[in-house]
A and B are shown apart, each in its own frame.
Chain A
Amino acid sequence: MIGNLPFVACMILVALGLWTLLAKRNLIKLVIGMSLIESGVNLFLVTLGYVRGGIPPIYTFAPEGAPMVLPTPQALTLTSIVIAVATTALMLAFVVVIYRHKGTLDARKIRDLRG
């Protein structure tokens, strides 16, 4: 009934994150945009595993003959979330150091490396 709507919603999240990266100048907002893209991709991965009428993929006390949702995308998504945490932490650490040096978070002013 909802068809491909979850996938479209995840793509809209990714597009919103990309728009944030393009349009915003605050460094923290850029990191938030990155986190939006990450959320979109992770949601997309989890949504891929859905099987209609499926139960969680655990064998203990599982009813007979019920279809299970795919467990692999869940593992992929967990890995991706961990990587996203590390990436966001590293980016925020560098934002803190940049702020300590420059006193500003405006990306248009942090342009020492140009030319």
Chain B
Amino acid sequence: MGVEILTGQGFWHALVWFAAALGVFLLSLAIWSMGRREFRRGTEAELPFVSGERVEDARVGAPHLYWGFAEALKPFLERLRNFHSGFIGDYVGWFAVILAVILLLVMA
């Protein structure tokens, strides 16, 4: 039918994936059904509390996600950001560098 593609070492078939996904779904359904039953929507149970205090409008915005990851890689990421300096002379400079590298590669 054309659902599967053959790579050199294996194959990908969407129905196989669906079977696996169904299995995972049933497993997670089973685990979910073993949880507590007393949760009701619209009561106080679903309001955000931060450190025991009721907070209006609490939301985890985008800068909070992966903050630790970005902090840990800060030296590398800061260096990378400084490369994207916004200065057009640097950009043309990289073009000249690549031209020189390719000339060395191709002529030698």
Taking beta carbons and an 8 Å cutoff, which residues of A are in contact with B?
18, 21-25, 30, 107-108, 110-115
Contact = CB atoms under 8 A, between A and B. Distances in A.
Contacts of B81: 114-115
A30 B88 CA distance: 9
Contacts of A22: 89, 92-93, 96
B76 interface: no
A70 to B, nearest CB: 28
- Chain B at the A interface: SS class: helix
B84 interface: yes
Contacts of A113: 86
13 contacts: A18-B96, A21-B89, A22-B89, A22-B93, A24-B89, A25-B89, A30-B88, A108-B87, A111-B87, A113-B86, A114-B81, A114-B84, A114-B86
A110 B91 CA distance: 14
Contacts of A23: 89
A68 B85 CA distance: 52
Contacts of A114: 81, 84-86
A18 B92 contact: yes
B92 A111 contact: no
Q: What class of interface size applies to chain B in its complex with A?
A: 10 to 19
A28 to B, nearest CB: 13
Interface string B4-29: 00000000000000000000000000
A107 B88 CA distance: 7
A32 to B, nearest CB: 14
Interface in B55-108: 81, 84-89, 92-93, 96
A16 to B, nearest CB: 13
Contacts of A110: 86
A25 B85 CA distance: 14
Contacts of B96: 18, 22
Contacts of A112: 86
Contacts of A18: 92, 96
A114 B81 CA distance: 8
Nearest to A19: B96
A12 B64 CA distance: 53
